[in-house]
Amino acid sequence: MKTKDKYKKSLSRTVPDQTPTARPRVAAVRPEFRGIVIRYEHEGLTEGWFNPRGLQQVVTNIVLNACEAVPPSSGRIEVKSVGRQDGLEISIADNGPGIPEPVRQLVFQPFVSYGKEGGTGLGLAVAQKIMRDHGGDIYLDSAGEGSTLFRLVLPFTSRE
């Protein structure tokens, strides 16, 4: 898959364990989430072409959703990235309530927000667009009761 042209200019060679997991400063921005444990792990290759800001926006949107879903004092979120020859995969799992079946297939649509006050429903739509602009994609792998798992796939597309 090819990275879209307009994105090529903004790509830089960066280290995944600093970029995709560029730890959103959740507790600083949203102090009410300070009791939530967020763990980051990276294994494998550490280089590829990314738009660092774009990728950080994606991770931030998903981690914030997870924070909004988990219990404030026993919430756990795990962000794991794996760098391989063909690309980078990032999984983001939480121990929140999951997403009801009928809502699951709608979550990437703009303005779909469910179960919270004040959500505009744009976070995942924006995340999907950024991933696709990179030639990658975002998947909701599971969302049964007690956990939700999003997976980001990013090809190590050459800039040329």
The two three-digit tokens of residue 133, written as one number? 């602009």
Cβ–Cβ contacts within 10 Å for residue 41, how many? 12
Please tell me whether residue 78 binds ligand ATP under the rule CB under 6 A: no
Answer for the pair 13, 53: CB distance below 8 angstroms, yes or no: no
In the complex with ligand ATP, which residue's Cβ is closer, 11 or 124?
Answer: 124
Q: What is the pattern of x (binds Mg ion, CB under 5 A) and - over residues 58-77?
A: -------x------------
| 120: partner contacted, choices ligand ATP, Mg ion, none (Cβ within 5-8 A by kind) | ligand ATP
In the complex with Mg ion, which residue's Cβ is closer, 11 or 69?
Answer: 69
In the complex with ligand ATP, which residue's Cβ is closer, 8 or 104?
Answer: 104
Q: Integer distance in angstroms from the first to the last C-alpha of the chain?
A: 13
Answer for the pair 4, 42: CB distance below 8 angstroms, yes or no: no
Q: How far is 7 from 23, CA to CA, in rounded Å?
A: 23
Answer for the pair 143, 96: CB distance below 8 angstroms, yes or no: no
Residues forming contacts to Mg ion in the complex (CB under 5 A) are 65, 123
Residues forming contacts to ligand ATP in the complex (CB under 6 A) are 61, 65-66, 69, 94, 96, 99, 103, 107, 112-116, 119-125, 148
